[in-house]
Amino acid sequence: MGTRPEVIKMAPVILLLKINRLFQCSVCVTSQHKELLEQQMNVFGLKADFDLDIMTHNQDNFDVSTKILQRLKPVIQKTAPDLILVQGDTNTAFIAALAGFYTKIRIAHIEAGLRTYRKDEPYPEEISRQMISRLAVLHFAPTEAAKQNLLNENIESSDIYVTGNTVIDALKYVQNLGSDSSKIKNHIKFLNIHEKIISLLYKPHKTLILVTMHREENIIEGIANVCKAIERLSQERDVVFVFSVHPNPNVKALVNGMLQNNNNIILTSPLPYIIFIQILNRCSFIITDSGGIQEEAAMLGKPVLVARNHSDRPESITAGIASLVGTEVEDIYKAALELIDNKTKRERMTRSMALYGDGHASEKIVEILMQLAKNGFE
């Protein structure tokens, strides 16, 4: 694992593997997003057995990829695993899969089969996930649509398992921790939350809109356009925006430069997952270019405006609980304004739907691994 979403989506699987006597599970992190990684691992009580510690200031895809490949080799040689589990579509996942291929270790891909079939959207994730599919021997697809993508690419049906998405498992795990502030402080070691955010949790009459933007293809123009749209909305309507700002230096500089002096827009660093889910559950709707939030929002019944031109989560859009609005200022502004002003429209999109699983994806994955392990992974 290397990023915040990877921890969230892998944690439920790791927790089950750790208590299963059939497996010896080692956790290797690349620290592609070091601070965010530690923050989220703390939520789930996880510790890394190996830390490749690749994080440096202003690194690019070349730096990340080469360092992971070089530093992962001795870890694989030391542990000699039967199977390497990777999740999603990050550089960490792709290079780990490549390292497994070079060392002739089987690769299992969690969240397999998501596609836009556009090389630059999302960039570089679309190519990463396609490459992982060529390298993996086990494909844990979150939905039937994802499975169909894999079948269309001539992946053997017997190697594909539709399990649901493990993010729903993580969501339910965090919900079970409770929403009481004392419990939050006990579970979150690195609690440093903007006091306005905490107060908003207890003001249900206040319209709260959650914003996250981080896709590389949206830096700079797409994110700047979202900032322009929400700044205009914050002046025209009595609403509060909570903008979870990605730690990418270019994103931080852009968003802070455009929005930091607006009293109706709260800028925060990425929140511990237990807090983030409370904000997600509290908000009226979300503006985002993230994939994982679309999955969580579907379960929580929160409308999503997807600030992208193409979606790899078509299930939400087809179901009518998410809308693909692109990255033009006027399109984002109009779509958000309609959800603010039109209660009927907002309620029509406010439906909880188990589009991405029932919260038992991790159990299904581990059960499959148990059966395969008993057969020597043949």
Token pair recorded at residue 58: 């202003």
Judged against a pLDDT cut of 90, whether residue 1 lies above it is answered with yes
CATH number of the domain where residue 209 is located: 3.40.50.2000
Task: State the residue for tokens 């589990």.
Answer: 85
pLDDT of residue 60: 87
Is residue 90 in a domain? yes
pLDDT of residue 37: 85
* Distance separating alpha carbons of residues 171 and 12, to the nearest angstrom: 10
Quick one: 261 and 114 in the same domain? no
pLDDT of residue 248: 86
Judged against a pLDDT cut of 80, whether residue 48 lies above it is answered with yes
Range of the domain at 276: 182-349
Quick one: 328 and 267 in the same domain? yes
Residues 6+ apart with CB under 8 A from 156: none
pLDDT of residue 80: 96
**Contact status, residue 366 vs residue 16, Cβ threshold 8 Å:** yes
Cα atoms in the 13 Å half-sphere on the side-chain side of 259: 31
Quick one: 118 and 228 in the same domain? no
Average pLDDT of the segment spanning 130-151: 98
Residue type, 158: S
pLDDT of residue 203: 66
The reply to whether omega before 272 is within 30° of 0 (cis) is no
Quick one: 146 and 214 in the same domain? no
Tell me the average pLDDT of the chain: 91
Is residue 74 in a domain? yes
Query: pTM here?
Result: 0.92
Average pLDDT of the segment spanning 81-102: 97
Condensed to tens digits (0 to 9), the pLDDT of residues 261-283 reads: 888 999 988 888 888 898 899 89
Q: What is the SS3 assignment for 293?
A: helix
What are the C-alpha distances in Å from 194 to residues 16, 19, 177, 211, 269? 33, 36, 21, 15, 9
Q: Of the candidates 100, 162, 164, which has an alpha carbon nearest to the alpha carbon of residue 134? A: 100
Quick one: 128 and 148 in the same domain? yes
Is residue 174 in a domain? no
Condensed to tens digits (0 to 9), the pLDDT of residues 207-232 reads: 899 999 999 899 999 999 999 999 99
Q: What is the DSSP string of 205-217?
A: TSEEEEEEE--GG
Mean pLDDT is lowest, of 75-89, 114-128, 177-191, 294-308, for 177-191
**Contact status, residue 285 vs residue 240, Cβ threshold 8 Å:** no
pLDDT of residue 187: 47
**Contact status, residue 187 vs residue 176, Cβ threshold 8 Å:** no
Judged against a pLDDT cut of 70, whether residue 184 lies above it is answered with no
Judged against a pLDDT cut of 80, whether residue 372 lies above it is answered with yes
